[in-house]
Copies of this chain bind each other. A is one copy, B any other.
Amino acid sequence: MAMDEHDYRFLCELAAQLRVDSVRASASAGSGHPTSSLSAAELMAVLLARHLRLDAGDPANPANDHLVFSKGHASPLLYAMLKAAGVVTDEELLTFRGRGRRLEGHPTPRVPFVDVATGSLGFGLPVGVGLALTGRKLDRLPYHVWVLCGDGELAEGSMWEAFEHAGHEGLANLTAIVDVNRLGQRGPTRHGWDLAAYARRIGAFGWHTIEIDGHDPGQIDYALSDARATRRRPTAIIARTCKGFGVPAVEDREGKHGKPLDDPEQAVAELGGPRRLTVQVNPPTIAGTPYAFGAGSLELPEYRVGERVATRTAFGAALAALGTADGAVVALDGEVADSTKLDAFAEAHPERFFECHIAEQQMTAAAIGMQARGWKPYAASFAAFLTRAYDFVRMAAVSRADICLVGSHGGVSIGEDGPSQMGLEDLAAFRAIHGSTVLYPCDANQTARLVADTAGLKGVRYLRTTRGETPVVYGPGERFPVGGCKVLRTGGHATVVAAGVTVHEALAAADLLEEDGVSITVIDAYSVKPLDSEELRTMATATGRVVTVEDHRPEGGLGDAVLAALAGAPVPVVKLGVSEMPGSATSQEQLEDAGIDRGAIRRAVLDMIRHSAPVGGLIA
């Protein structure tokens, strides 16, 4: 498929059109990143016209190649490509960054052929790895994944998690196209135009690397052919380009990042004026049907009431069962599957289990890539270490991704390992994610049921599990609607709202208080978000006093969620949480030292009764 002179001319013209349209779109918006678009125009022109394979009329065609703009700020270039391919009109192109318009400042899946939102640098390549893994191991289709990367974003560690993962897996269906335009946002990148510096690094991670002039369609065409043809290794095309190429006023100049051109009309003229080229994108070579794993019936594990089982153990067993029932369920591990108990899934469904090693960002991004192709990923690590991927969780929400993250070892109750291993901010972090569901079961049967129920939910779901064994409270048949809660005890003196490990402390406190002649209502708020506001208000109003107790920092977690539900209700609330820095100690000592154990709950209830707070008085 050698390129003839006709092709060459066409590609140069197409690149010019992409430039012109990038400039026009940014000018019409009055903002945007035209210079970052100009540098990659030939790279994308050749890719679009000669190498990308997709059904321009059907973004959902499973055989389509995937294109991820990891340098998401070059969105004008992406939209110019879509215009050239006939996917968006010129009229729509000029709505760039307009209120309510889908051509946003950075790409999101509102735009056809965009799998994920980008714009947080270092995110697109890890997602591309996830898509390539999906093609190879799940869909089992020969589509290719192309990722346009910036040079500046190679400073992000997440990119190297991606290079390592893809290199080790030998993902030949993945190509990174690195637009080395030398200039970051503030100034020069570390390596400037030293293409070899990038090639050494990426090559050391097991990739095939090609260094080219990124403005020469011939070299680009060769490199893209070579990338598709290369076996056993992913390819990185490291392209020397010029930021702002083609427009003298901004070409290779600092201080021109992220701004529309001062004189877009002159720029368009210098670029030879608007063209009306269209590209017939090559269709996929085969009609593809994604591989489907067999599915059976759902047989969740069942536990006897009173038995002591860690919720993490129930999670692992339940996810394995869910995997048997639903062939679309897949699991990703951060090299702690023996702790999170994801190992149960790995044993049952090795083909759908992905070891991501200690790389929580890549793990999360791979999950996001998989759901973009319709798979149902569950990714698990310690709750504490999921904070590593918080930006990617945020970007999952912007990507409208449907993923489930599972954090084990929630709270101080993990015991001796100490604060570095304790998830104490996770409920706050996940509650703040748009459209998220936050679940925190207290026993094994509840965990199993919630694992099964999360499979049908949209958006980012977070399930928190506990390290230690806790007694089974609920029978196997019990249901736990998301957005519901369970009233485990009823009593008139106060309502204690707990979740997870503190449910058991609250029940023990109820027993202790019984001896004091005090009866309390105990609520298991397993659905932290959405919270069962109605039931909570009812019980709070009925008892006149509320204590919330959580194995989590006092800010942003269960206590704050309950306060939001009770806003304006004239009921005093005491919020118990982990307000000091823990050290090492046994699980029960930790709960005691943090003031969230049965004794602390008992004291809080008795204090409230003793002080008989006037309505509206602050007790917390």
The residues of A with any CB-CB pair to B shorter than 8 Å are: 29-32, 72, 97-106, 108, 110, 117-122, 152-153, 155-161, 164, 168, 184-187, 189-190, 200-201, 203-205, 255, 257, 333, 335-339, 343, 355, 357-359, 361-362, 384-385, 387-388, 390-391, 394-395, 397-398, 400, 415-421, 424-425, 428-429, 431-435, 529, 533, 537, 541, 552-557, 559-561, 563-564, 566-573, 575, 579-581, 583-586, 589, 593, 613, 615-620
Contacts and interface: CB of A to CB of B under 8 A. Distances in A.
A100 B593 CA distance: 9
A409 to B, nearest CB: 12
A547 B161 CA distance: 44
A438 B399 CA distance: 28
Contact of A568 (B97, B156, B570, B583): B570
B333 A186 contact: yes
A335 B184 contact: yes
A555 B556 contact: yes
A208 B121 CA distance: 29
B155 A358 contact: yes
Given A99-B589, A425-B432, 17 more contacts: A31-B415, A97-B585, A99-B583, A120-B384, A120-B420, A152-B335, A152-B357, A186-B333, A390-B390, A424-B434, A428-B428, A432-B555, A432-B557, A537-B618, A555-B560, A555-B564, A567-B618
A76 to B, nearest CB: 12
A359 B584 contact: no
B616 A570 contact: yes
Contact of A156 (B99, B156, B358, B434): B358
A618 B117 contact: no
A553 B357 contact: no
A185 B394 contact: no
A18 to B, nearest CB: 21
For this chain, the copies found in one complex come to: 2
29 contacts: A32-B416, A97-B418, A99-B585, A103-B584, A106-B421, A152-B335, A157-B160, A164-B190, A185-B339, A186-B338, A187-B355, A204-B204, A255-B338, A394-B424, A394-B425, A398-B581, A400-B581, A424-B432, A425-B429, A425-B432, A428-B555, A529-B555, A560-B560, A560-B563, A567-B619, A568-B573, A568-B613, A569-B616, A569-B618
Contacts of A435: 581
Contact of A104 (B101, B155, B201, B584): B584
Contact of A618 (B29, B257, B568, B613): B568
Pick from A120, A388, A432, A589 the residue with the most CB of B within 10 Å. Answer: A432
A158 B357 CA distance: 14
Question: Which 7 A/B pairs are nearest by Cβ-Cβ distance?
Answer: A157-B157, A119-B420, A556-B556, A570-B570, A160-B160, A99-B585, A568-B572
Contact of A105 (B99, B157, B421, B569): B421
A97 B589 CA distance: 12
A421 B584 CA distance: 39
Contact of A98 (B97, B153, B432, B584): B584
